[in-house]
Structure 1
Amino acid sequence: TRILDELVDLTGWHRDYARQALRNALTPTIVKPKPGRKPVYGPDLMPALITCWAVLRAPAGRLLAAMLPTLVPMLRRDKELDITDTQADLLMKMSAATIDRKLAGERKKMLPRGRSHTKPGSLLKSQIPIRTWAEWDDAVPGFVEIDLVGHEGGNAAGEYCFTLTVTDISTGWTVNRSVKNKAAKWVFEALEHVISVFPFPIIGIDSDNGSEFINEHLLAYCTDHEITFTRSRAGNKNDGAHVEQKNWARVRELVGYLRYDTPAELELLNQIWELDRVFTNYLLPQQKLISKTRHGAKVSKKHDQPKTPHQRAIAHETMRKRPIITMNAAFKRIKPAALERQVL
């Protein structure tokens, strides 16, 4: 009782509570940790998520999340994903942050195998090109920027292939076509091919000041077909920001910086571009910059929701019915996983 008396005096507890506390001190209660909440996305979903991510060439979570509701049904249709309806619903609802968190380990595995760390850098630091704004309206599908990418492999001697890149500013629709050299004859033939495979009419072309573009043949063609033809300022190679970005994102990222100078390599390049044209425009979502504000040294950028060029094109109010039907029919024929295996 002496110990009990001292405990009551020191703590001010009631005598009965102090007695109970002493008894409990001799046999401490082991508190078992409560089980956490059952994870919404279990490990059984990881193989399917990795498959979707790999098919779209390892995009960021915000881009993959936007495409999952479209991609998952397509892959299930083609027997590329073996998952239940419940798993498919969960996968299609996964947020961008969850995707990035789940795939962090897989992304790290890719890096040592040669995934490029090169960034576009100054390619995107362009200024406003000179255009006749009374005629040029790049908010409407059909106004494109064109540019050439050289495949000299670090050695500019001799003849080597070039790739013509044509990018629609409004939708991001991009078509590539390689040529044996940058003679105006071959570039014009490549441009004619690009125009023929574009799903909607090209109504405006903006190029740099190279002789492969600025020539009477192309000017006459644009005049005959009522295509607005403008050029960037002399000495400003990066005026065409949209097409310069595609040079890096599509051409350099896919075929690298090697030298291509043989007929066989030229044929292979164009086979790649034909497959990639479908893949890029129908399956790869893109984000467009809406606004950019500067607060001192900090620059805040606001982008729109990720959409594929196909989605942007068919949703545009000026798009005619026939191109929409053509694009939707082409989209229904796509087998994403098989197409990606062909490209890579």
Structure 2
Amino acid sequence: MGSIWRRRCGSCSTPLQRHGELFDGRVIDGKARFTPVVREELLAMSAATIDRYLKPAKASDQIKGVATTKPSPLLRSSIKIRKAGDEVEAEPGFFEGDTVAHCGPTLKGEFARTVNLTCVHTGWVFTRTVRNNAHTHILAALKAATEKVPFEVVRLDFDNGSEFLNKAVIKWAADREIFFTRSRPYKKNDQATVESKNNHLVRKYSFYYRYDTEAERVVLNRLWQLTNDRLNYLTPTKKPVGFGADAAGRRTRLYDTPATPLDRLLAANVLAPTQQAELIAYRDSLNPAAIARQIADLQNRLLVLAKEKTEQLDLASFPTALPNVHKGIRIKAAS
């Protein structure tokens, strides 16, 4: 991260400086928050050092999710399979999709699902939470994605879940001339791009709590607007481009130069000049610190709404070790 920040910022003005969040002379608890010396130290830090400094501040959550994918045997035989390693389009528009269940520790009852779409070429993400995985709600999220994503969605790749492989969704895709593929069962590496986003986007920002009310869904969708802006416009990522060898001759992954999804989209030259200017202007208007504060506020609201409820469900899932005193104790009769 340090090297990424160094390449992107160098001697230029960072978004935090541009919005007045960092400036020389600010003093907190008797210490200058941002000075030329501090800036140079930040630029010199490696990703490992940054992670080590931030480790105490990162929240840890012991509650884990539950897999909810249910296969759809009726239609999947008619959908083409896409495997890990298959070539993909060299242009934006090919999206991998998946749903994340906000069920907490139990699958009982109705709970929210988050539809997560990721463009393989650019890394552009779209996220939307819906009431459940009924095809009407999933279809509404897909329709919203095609309207909100600033470039054409030409291909969708899903797992074998029945929320995607159903007649309503397939007919909608066919009407819009969107090519439809699916991964192999139990082969998560076929959808490595979106599976990674399920973790460090959906789970990182919304935790593993149970969300099953309208109020919680409203907060989640407000949260996704902010996180999508953060990831699409402000967060550089690197993509694997092949394999090489290190000094000892061991096979290693090679990556390209880190860039934001917007940078990759602009480099693809698929947008009109007017649209490019609009997206750049919108990026320049984003204040990273303000987004971080708003995200933290929404996450705190989620904690108030769902943390205690989820923890109680988690405790109830463990069988008690105490004896059932209501059954009484049998005593052998004296002979």
Q: Same fold (TM over 0.5)?
A: yes
The alpha carbon displacement at 1:289 in A equals 0.7
Answer yes or no: is 1:272 the counterpart of 2:260.
Answer: no
1:107 counterpart residue number: 54
Q: How does 1:102-141 map to 2 (within 5 A)?
A: 103=50, 106-110=53-57, 114=60, 130-131=81-82, 137-141=88-92
**Cα distance, 1:101–1:256 mapped onto 2, change above 3 Å:** closer
2:154 counterpart residue number: 203
**Cα distance, 1:294–1:223 mapped onto 2, change above 3 Å:** same
Q: How does 1:314-333 map to 2 (within 5 A)?
A: 314-333=266-285
Answer yes or no: is 1:82 the counterpart of 2:23.
Answer: yes
Q: Point out the structure with max Rg over C-alpha.
A: 1
The alpha carbon displacement at 1:77 in A equals 2.6
RMSD: 3.3
Q: How does 1:287-298 map to 2 (within 5 A)?
A: 287-293=238-244, 298=250
Answer yes or no: is 1:166 the counterpart of 2:113.
Answer: no
**Cα distance, 1:290–1:334 mapped onto 2, change above 3 Å:** same
1:172-195 residue CA offsets vs partner (Å, 9 max, x unmatched): 001110011111110110111122
**Cα distance, 1:70–1:153 mapped onto 2, change above 3 Å:** farther
Amino acid in the other structure paired with 2:281: A
The alpha carbon displacement at 1:230 in A equals 1.3
Q: Secondary structure at the match of 2:126?
A: strand
2:97 counterpart residue number: 146
1:312 counterpart residue number: 264
Amino acid in the other structure paired with 1:107: L
The alpha carbon displacement at 1:106 in A equals 3.1
Amino acid in the other structure paired with 2:103: E
Contact 1:72 1:92 in 2 (8 A): no
**Cα distance, 1:294–1:104 mapped onto 2, change above 3 Å:** closer
Amino acid in the other structure paired with 1:341: R
2:314 counterpart residue number: none
Q: In 1, distance between residues paired with 2:108 and 2:97?
A: 24
1:116-147 residue CA offsets vs partner (Å, 9 max, x unmatched): 9x9xxxxxxxxxx9349xxx843210110000
Q: In 1, distance between residues paired with 2:148 and 2:228?
A: 10
Amino acid in the other structure paired with 1:114: S
State percent identity of aligned pairs.
Answer: 32
| Gaps in structure 1 of 5+ consecutive residues | 1-59, 119-128
**Cα distance, 1:92–1:224 mapped onto 2, change above 3 Å:** farther
Contact 1:150 1:161 in 2 (8 A): yes
The alpha carbon displacement at 1:211 in A equals 1.4
The alpha carbon displacement at 1:225 in A equals 1.6
Q: How does 1:177-216 map to 2 (within 5 A)?
A: 177-216=128-167
Contact 1:200 1:323 in 2 (8 A): no
Answer yes or no: is 1:342 the counterpart of 2:294.
Answer: yes
The alpha carbon displacement at 1:64 in A equals 2.9
The alpha carbon displacement at 1:93 in A equals 7.5
Answer yes or no: is 1:233 the counterpart of 2:187.
Answer: no
Q: In 2, distance between residues paired with 1:315 and 1:213?
A: 31
Q: In 1, distance between residues paired with 2:169 and 2:55?
A: 47
Q: Secondary structure at the match of 2:177?
A: coil
Q: In 1, distance between residues paired with 2:268 and 2:211?
A: 38
TM-score norm. by structure 1 comes to: 0.69
Higher helix proportion (structure 1 or 2): 1
Q: Secondary structure at the match of 1:240?
A: helix
1:257 counterpart residue number: 208
